[in-house]
Amino acid sequence: MAIAECLQELKKTGKVDQDKPTLKRYSKDHSYHHPMEPLCVFTCQNENDIQTCLRICNKYKVPVIPTAGKTSLEGHTIPESSNVVIIDTSEMDKIVAINEKDLDCIVQPGVNWMELGERLEKLGLFFPPDPGASAMIGGMCGTNCSGTHAWRVVLADGTVVKTRRRPNKSSAGYDLTRLFVGSEGTLGIVSEATLRLRRLPRFHAVIFSQFKTLQDAANTVAQVVQEGILLNRMELLDDFSMKAINLANKSSYGELNSLLFECAGFSEVQIRDQLEALEKITSGHHCVLFEKESGAQSAKLWNIRKAAYFASKALRPEIDSHILTTDCAVPISHLCEMLTATRIDLSNSGLVASIVAHAGDGNFHVFLQVDITNEKEVQAAEAFRLRNATLALKFDGTCTGEHGIGIGKRELLVEEVGHETVELMRRIKKQLDPNAILNPGKVFELYPKAKL
Amino acid sequence: MAIAECLQELKKTGKVDQDKPTLKRYSKDHSYHHPMEPLCVFTCQNENDIQTCLRICNKYKVPVIPTAGKTSLEGHTIPESSNVVIIDTSEMDKIVAINEKDLDCIVQPGVNWMELGERLEKLGLFFPPDPGASAMIGGMCGTNCSGTHAWRVVLADGTVVKTRRRPNKSSAGYDLTRLFVGSEGTLGIVSEATLRLRRLPRFHAVIFSQFKTLQDAANTVAQVVQEGILLNRMELLDDFSMKAINLANKSSYGELNSLLFECAGFSEVQIRDQLEALEKITSGHHCVLFEKESGAQSAKLWNIRKAAYFASKALRPEIDSHILTTDCAVPISHLCEMLTATRIDLSNSGLVASIVAHAGDGNFHVFLQVDITNEKEVQAAEAFRLRNATLALKFDGTCTGEHGIGIGKRELLVEEVGHETVELMRRIKKQLDPNAILNPGKVFELYPKAKL
């Protein structure tokens, strides 16, 4: 049997683990999708190991799933069947080089971004993206995280391709870098990535502002974007988020739609300038609170945003809810309408949730509080997600701003970009992975079932 | 004969031109590559026309080359044989939509970027890239111009794919947008593109600075980049550039290595802040001139940079030289070394040239002044280009920062990213364009000749 022979050959490498606790640990991620234990876990220490594993699995046509931090929110690393080999790159955790003068670094897929951040901070640098705390670079590449550039990629047959060199810009051939980044492990496994860094600004300030209505907050966002004010971050927390934070942390913020702005710059003058501009804009939109902190104190205010995700569980104190997260994005001009419709839908469905948004990008997350043991509730949540994503598409948006397609949004992908475009993705996939071993079933089905 | 039948079927559409002057006009671009007249020119008014032409040519396996502005610097739109149909999209010049609130617009490939700029300016917006004056959006997409996003693409068989919707960010499936952008017309023809715009800053200033040595100028660039100072543009002009400008315009600037900085912002405070920072940095690197102009006067100084390209011809007043342009880019940390070696090589080769650089990107252009009728000179220039690009690769750079691979850098592409990577590009190409009709021979050869 091909599976048995494959396993036997893999085991000869001494890198295979089939212990029950291991298989259980790798059977799930941070999504709600059903866990499925893999056949085994193959742990890689270096690129050669990835090549070895792929060559063997490709020979026997046994599917593989690459994983690093196991923090996927869309089921990316959950096997669809039990005859799947997990390729674990989390031990490939070297920071290969930090090129300070060029503002880039070269890292392996198992590098944790927060640990990278600590190392970079000592050099006065930082890597801008802000995913979940345990996220690793491999997964960040896989879900199109900005600033991540594929560098060395191992293809299904074990070939290594280097997609680019290290200049700041290049027009040399096809942008394979961007093809692999965001391919959710279905086209190749990144064995080394370059990351674009930035100089850590010396001056910071955070503003916490609150508004009478969601419309006011959204209009503020729109004006900030349209006036071209360059902020580090701009986050929206809806009134339910503030309620949740108060419940969880025993704070007493107004339960209002709120905006958090993070200003950063290389001079105090820059910060003052941004603060003044924001004060002016917010005051034109029924701002009822404008609290600002500078320097080291600014983290105190930003913690409000950091608290939002886990605090959302406090909205349903009676159960240990699972947080089911959505990830739509719409053009800024539609953000207010979208968020308003979202809140109405939640209310009508009786679903409990808070909403946060990366406001400047029009990307928002609904943190649904779901009793995962209650099938009806799970279905209601799923139905909401589908309605919400469908509405985002009507606004010319996307069903996934950041987290990727994974398992649960394959049909939405077809609706978003059309059959022809998904068929094109299939053709590319079949060319790069003829035996379809790389994370099968994710992003799209290779052989979609005919609809009856 | 397939060609004759193809031509006959194309002619039935009434969109074919075979007049001699037309064929001659479409036989060349702005590069030095040998002109070649096409079979005919098929003019498109809309996406349907592109589809019609492609379906016919694909049926008969007749090669096509898409063109818009005809301003390629690398031979992209020059046929390699005479049995090629030029698909002209320059009459598809509609600005389909300007979404002011979302800072994007949707345009057809024949839109001229300068004309677009004028329209956007009235709305207080602008599209940042700065290519040649006659460049059109279609070609800018094809050569990976930043901010251009493929939107609707016609494939070789006439299928239209829509690669994305209109949110600010998306992780929905493979980044086909970036696959087509920069594919130099070899994977599909963009029939509509979205462009990311920016708010036009209300305040401007330009600084013209000069330095004792190239090292001083390059060190200044490095420090500006590393300190994270956000400028609109930062351009380096070498001493030969300044000499050429003086000759051409009868000005009397010092013939020194120079930097032009363009500051832009939404408050006078921002500008003042940038000016102070730049004054401080430049003074630490033997700056001998620091001239600044604000507001409307700033254009006067920026004209120095605008003059550089055509002024370079003044370095060889005795002939009507052809300007042969290089386009390498290296990591910033290697820029000084690269430019120094470049100047030495030019001197040793007896070639006449000036150098400008998009300094913050490490991307520079050598404007070689070549007597195109003198075969030895052309060969010497070509040999220099090859040496210079090879050196850029040694510095982990690229042989093309902006202009693309076209005809003349196909072997350099292999050297830059490796055989396996180019083979991967071939596989993708063969999948999307099985009859190899789309701009054959550009970027890479589909069937490379075995080296003897």
Write the DSSP string, A12-38.
Answer: TTT-EE--HHHHHHTT--SSSSPP---
pLDDT higher than 70, residue B333: yes
Instruction: Kindly state whether residues A123 and A233 are assigned to the same domain.
Output: no
* CB-CB neighbors (< 8 A) of A144 in chain B: 170-171, 175
The whole-number average pLDDT for the span A176-201 is: 92
Ramachandran angles phi, psi of A215, nearest 5°: -55, -45
Instruction: Kindly state whether residues B278 and B353 are assigned to the same domain.
Output: yes
CA distance A442 to chain B (A): 10
Give B451's pLDDT tier (boundaries 50, 70, 90).
low
CA distance B157 to chain A (A): 12
In 3-state terms, what secondary structure has residue B162? strand
For chain B, the domain total comes to: 3
Rounded Cα gap, residues B25 and B142, in angstroms: 21
* CB-CB neighbors (< 8 A) of A174 in chain B: 179, 182-183, 187, 425, 428, 443
CA distance A105 to chain B (A): 12
Rounded Cα gap, residues B306 and B300, in angstroms: 10
pLDDT higher than 60, residue B437: yes
With respect to residue B82, please indicate whether it lies within any of the assigned structural domains: yes
Share of chain A above pLDDT 90, in %: 71
CB contact under 8 A, A173 and B431: no
Give B450's pLDDT tier (boundaries 50, 70, 90).
low
Contact assessment for residue B352 and residue B238, using Cβ atoms and an 8 Å cutoff: no
What pLDDT, on the 0 to 100 scale, is given for residue A230?
A: 83
pLDDT higher than 60, residue A451: no
Strand order in the sheet with A40-43: A16-17, A40-43, A85-88, A64-67
The tens digit of pLDDT for each residue in B273-299 reads: 899 999 999 999 999 999 999 988 888
pTM: 0.92
Instruction: Kindly state whether residues B219 and B334 are assigned to the same domain.
Output: yes
Give B103's pLDDT tier (boundaries 50, 70, 90).
very high
Rounded Cα gap, residues A40 and A91, in angstroms: 16
What pLDDT, on the 0 to 100 scale, is given for residue B76?
A: 84
Instruction: Kindly state whether residues B316 and B341 are assigned to the same domain.
Output: yes
The whole-number average pLDDT for the span B321-331 is: 93
The whole-number average pLDDT for the span B253-271 is: 91
Spacing of C-alpha B219 from chain mean position = 26
In 3-state terms, what secondary structure has residue B265? strand
CB contact under 8 A, A178 and B178: yes
The whole-number average pLDDT for the span B344-360 is: 96
Q: Of B252, B343, B227, which Cα lies nearest the Cα of B261? A: B227
Instruction: Kindly state whether residues A261 and A322 are assigned to the same domain.
Output: yes
With respect to residue A415, please indicate whether it lies within any of the assigned structural domains: no
Looking at residue B11, which CATH number applies to its domain?
3.30.43.10
Instruction: Kindly state whether residues B388 and B261 are assigned to the same domain.
Output: yes
The tens digit of pLDDT for each residue in A428-439 reads: 999 999 999 999
Contact assessment for residue A261 and residue A271, using Cβ atoms and an 8 Å cutoff: no
Domain boundary among B138, B171, B199: B199
With respect to residue B442, please indicate whether it lies within any of the assigned structural domains: no
What pLDDT, on the 0 to 100 scale, is given for residue B411?
A: 92
pLDDT higher than 70, residue B452: no
Is residue A419 less than 8 Å (CB to CB) from chain B? no
Pick A173's closest partner by Cβ from B100, B163, B417: B417
The tens digit of pLDDT for each residue in B385-397 reads: 999 999 999 999 9
Looking at residue A259, which CATH number applies to its domain?
3.40.462.10
Pick B226's closest partner by Cβ from A101, A420, A424: A101
In 3-state terms, what secondary structure has residue B249? helix
CB contact under 8 A, B168 and A229: no
The tens digit of pLDDT for each residue in A353-402 reads: 999 999 999 999 999 999 989 999 999 999 999 999 999 999 999 999 98
Contact assessment for residue A39 and residue A7, using Cβ atoms and an 8 Å cutoff: yes
Q: Report the chain A residue with the minimal C-alpha distance to residue B421.
A: A161
Residues 175-194 of B with CB under 8 A from A: 175-176, 178-179, 181-183, 187
Rounded Cα gap, residues A42 and A53, in angstroms: 7
Decide if the complex's ipTM is over 0.95: no
The tens digit of pLDDT for each residue in A290-317 reads: 999 998 888 888 889 989 999 999 999 9
Contact assessment for residue B295 and residue B232, using Cβ atoms and an 8 Å cutoff: no
What pLDDT, on the 0 to 100 scale, is given for residue B156?
A: 97
Ramachandran angles phi, psi of B84, nearest 5°: -125, 140
Cβ-based neighbours of A280, under 8 Å, separated by 6 or more: none
Instruction: Kindly state whether residues A148 and A134 are assigned to the same domain.
Output: yes
Most distant CA atoms of chain B, gap in Å: 71
Looking at residue B192, which CATH number applies to its domain?
3.30.465.10
String of DSSP letters for B85-115: EEEE-TT---EEEEEGGGTEEEE-TT-BHHH
With respect to residue A408, please indicate whether it lies within any of the assigned structural domains: no
Rounded Cα gap, residues A57 and A60, in angstroms: 5
CA distances from B38 to A338, B20, B66, B77, B126 (A): 51, 10, 12, 10, 36
With respect to residue A375, please indicate whether it lies within any of the assigned structural domains: yes
Instruction: Kindly state whether residues B366 and B222 are assigned to the same domain.
Output: yes
Instruction: Kindly state whether residues A295 and A229 are assigned to the same domain.
Output: yes
Pick B199's closest partner by Cβ from A228, A409, A432: A228
In 3-state terms, what secondary structure has residue B224? helix
The tens digit of pLDDT for each residue in A232-260 reads: 899 999 999 999 999 999 999 999 999 99
Cβ-based neighbours of B145, under 8 Å, separated by 6 or more: B129, B131, B181, B402
What pLDDT, on the 0 to 100 scale, is given for residue B134?
A: 78
Choose between B226 and A341: higher pLDDT: A341
Domain boundary among B394, B419, B440: B394
Determine how many CB atoms are found less than 10 A away from the CB of residue A137. 30
Is residue A416 less than 8 Å (CB to CB) from chain B? yes
Rounded Cα gap, residues B332 and A303, in angstroms: 36
For the stretch B34-39, contacts whose Cβ atoms lie closer than 8 Å and that sit 24 or more positions apart, written own/partner, are: B34/B78, B35/B78, B36/B78, B36/B79, B36/B80, B36/B81, B36/B82, B36/B84, B37/B79, B37/B82, B38/B65, B38/B79, B38/B82, B38/B84, B38/B85, B38/B86, B39/B3, B39/B7, B39/B82, B39/B83, B39/B84, B39/B85
* CB-CB neighbors (< 8 A) of B421 in chain A: 161-163, 173, 176
Determine how many CB atoms are found less than 10 A away from the CB of residue B150. 27
Cβ-based neighbours of A237, under 8 Å, separated by 6 or more: A245, A257, A258, A259, A260, A304, A305, A308, A354, A355, A356
Domain that holds residue B120: 95-199
Report the mean per-residue pLDDT for chain B.
Answer: 92
Is residue B79 less than 8 Å (CB to CB) from chain A? no
The tens digit of pLDDT for each residue in B125-166 reads: 999 887 777 788 888 878 777 777 768 999 999 999 999 898
Domain boundary among B199, B218, B240: B199
Is residue A275 less than 8 Å (CB to CB) from chain B? no
Share of chain B above pLDDT 90, in %: 71
Q: Which of A216-220, A429-433, B293-297, B420-424 has the lowest mean pLDDT?
A: B293-297
Instruction: Kindly state whether residues A100 and A45 are assigned to the same domain.
Output: no
Is residue A350 less than 8 Å (CB to CB) from chain B? no
The tens digit of pLDDT for each residue in A402-422 reads: 888 988 899 999 999 999 999
